[in-house]
């Protein structure tokens, strides 16, 4: 029989009733003879509640203590799910990240997994137990609790599947698969039967919230069969697979991704000299702030303007760093825009089909959406626009690339 790693998100375990439902699903796989490892998130709303408690005590909570605090949410769920399995006559054992020995680096709140000691898990599986692991967390080499960032339970599940050489990693969530875009914005959004690791990686990095980007990276790197499924209804979900396993007639564009959580910073009047980009972005990188789209204008009279985007949550720290940089460089001023959004078209078919950019830009122009910045890769084109035009842009592009479902399927897309 198969070894399956299953991950259940916060909404899937959001109440004791839902934890019971998850236990029934897991018990079914175990009774069928499969070895099962379950990774769980905190109950929905719990992590936010813990963050609010921290913010009420300290305006900028200490990262190490924040990790100690928020990691408790997943530990509660592991214990409750193990109890629910015991009630059904299924032997189960819960572990937090330190007990499994998920070793990470020491970047608190954004740690990366270095290695996993799977000895305890294999011993339990050989004894016929279901193993329940707290997602989102690990420990560094000094024994400090670390967390992997929002959505980190996905990464825990895929990393465990890779370490254990699982037959499949199943990500259960509140949607029944990966869609061409968010069905809450576009009525005609369609569930994809398959999507490549590359496309899913771009969708995740461009704002799709179905999977954490590092989880997709892990799955692609170690060829972990990955499937996104609904916790609440039966269905095949979406299989994330290699490109050569896709239908040769797959459409040029797989989907439209977007991200509201963006902010733009512009340093005006920067000296147009070699190394200035490093002088601006070096301190930003040293502060562990991720930079997204970058634009530098053509220099005039020895001066230029330098613009880049960051996550909106990193804006205060990035602004504080740049204010010092502006003074050091003798630049004119710093301008900040917290009300921007990013919209992206993604598809491996772009490699062999020309004209994607022209279709995108024409469609946006026709509805009056101004493009502020553009970023491209081999399989995606992203634009930065005003946040107020986000939904209009997504709907327009979804139609322009003929991704809308047939009218009779629109109801299913919103299911």
Angle at which helix 276-286 crosses helix 315-329, to 10 degrees, equals: 150
Around Cβ 390, how many Cβ atoms within 10 Å?
20
The answer to the question of whether 232 is labelled as a binding residue is: no
174-179-182-183 Cα dihedral, nearest 10 degrees: -80
**Residue 382, strand partner residues:** 344, 375
Asked if 138 and 193 count as a contact pair (C-beta separation under 8 A), the reply is: no
CA 255 from centroid of its chain's CA atoms = 16
Residue 211 is classified by DSSP as: S
Closest CA to 231 of 26, 90, 36: 26
Angle at which helix 46-57 crosses helix 72-87, to 10 degrees, equals: 150
| Whole-angstrom distance, CA of residue 372 vs CA of residue 262 | 13
The answer to the question of whether 128 is labelled as a binding residue is: no
Return the SS3 of 281: helix
The answer to the question of whether 210 is labelled as a binding residue is: yes
* Maximal C-alpha separation, the chain: 77
| Whole-angstrom distance, CA of residue 199 vs CA of residue 180 | 11
Q: What is the β-pairing status of strands 255-271 and 303-311?
A: antiparallel
| Whole-angstrom distance, CA of residue 237 vs CA of residue 200 | 14
The answer to the question of whether 184 is labelled as a binding residue is: yes
CA 6 from centroid of its chain's CA atoms = 17
The answer to the question of whether 10 is labelled as a binding residue is: yes
The answer to the question of whether 38 is labelled as a binding residue is: no
Cα angle: 14, vertex 18, 19; to 5 degrees: 90
The answer to the question of whether 235 is labelled as a binding residue is: no
The answer to the question of whether 7 is labelled as a binding residue is: yes
Angle at which helix 72-87 crosses helix 63-70, to 10 degrees, equals: 20
Return the SS3 of 127: coil
Asked if 121 and 37 count as a contact pair (C-beta separation under 8 A), the reply is: yes
Asked if 156 and 7 count as a contact pair (C-beta separation under 8 A), the reply is: yes
Closest CA to 349 of 413, 410, 403: 403
The answer to the question of whether 74 is labelled as a binding residue is: yes
Annotated binding residues for substrate: 47, 74
Annotated binding residues for ATP: 7-10, 173-174, 179, 184, 209-210
Annotated binding residues: 7-10, 47, 74, 173-174, 179, 184, 209-210
């Amino acid at each position: 029989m198969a070894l399956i790693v299953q991950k259940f998100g916060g909404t899937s375990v959001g109440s004791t009733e839902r934890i019971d439902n998850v236990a029934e699903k897991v018990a079914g796989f175990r009774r069928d003879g499969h070895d099962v490892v379950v990774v769980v998130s905190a109950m929905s709303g719990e992590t936010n509640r813990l963050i609010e408690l921290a913010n009420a005590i300290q305006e900028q909570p200490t990262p190490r203590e924040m990790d100690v605090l928020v990691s408790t949410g997943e530990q509660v769920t592991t214990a409750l799910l193990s109890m629910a399995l015991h009630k059904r006559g299924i032997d189960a054992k819960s572990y937090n990240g330190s007990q499994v020995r998920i070793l990470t680096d020491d970047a608190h709140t954004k740690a990366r997994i270095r290695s996993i000691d799977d000895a305890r898990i294999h011993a339990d599986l050989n004894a016929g137990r279901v193993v329940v692991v707290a997602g989102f967390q690990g420990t560094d080499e000094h024994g400090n609790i670390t967390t992997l960032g929002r959505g980190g339970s996905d990464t825990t599940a895929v990393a465990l599947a890779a370490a254990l050489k699982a037959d499949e990693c199943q990500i259960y969530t509140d949607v029944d698969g990966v869609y061409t875009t968010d069905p809450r914005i576009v009525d005609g959004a369609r569930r994809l039967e398959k999507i490549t690791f590359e496309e899913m990686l771009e969708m995740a990095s461009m704002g799709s919230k179905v999977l954490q980007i590092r989880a997709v990276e892990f799955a692609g790197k170690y060829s972990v069969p990955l499937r996104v499924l609904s916790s609440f209804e039966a269905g095949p979900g979406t299989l994330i697979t290699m490109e050569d396993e896709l239908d040769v007639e797959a459409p040029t564009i797989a989907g439209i991704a977007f991200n509201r959580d963006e902010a733009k910073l512009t340093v005006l009047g920067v000296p147009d000299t070699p190394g200035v980009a490093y002088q601006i972005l070096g301190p930003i990188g040293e502060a562990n702030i991720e930079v997204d789209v970058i634009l530098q204008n053509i220099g005039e009279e020895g001066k230029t303007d330098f613009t880049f985007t960051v996550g909106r949550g990193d804006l205060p720290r990035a602004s504080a760093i740049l204010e010092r940089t502006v003074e050091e460089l003798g630049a004119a001023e710093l301008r900040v825009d917290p009300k921007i959004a990013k919209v992206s078209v993604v598809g491996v078919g772009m490699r062999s089909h020309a004209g994607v950019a022209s279709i995108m830009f024409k469609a946006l122009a026709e509805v009056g959406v101004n493009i502020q910045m553009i970023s491209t890769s081999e399989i995606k084109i992203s634009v930065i626009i005003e946040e107020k035009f986000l939904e209009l842009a997504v709907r327009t592009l979804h139609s322009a690339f003929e991704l809308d479902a047939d009218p009779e399927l629109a109801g299913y897309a919103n299911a």
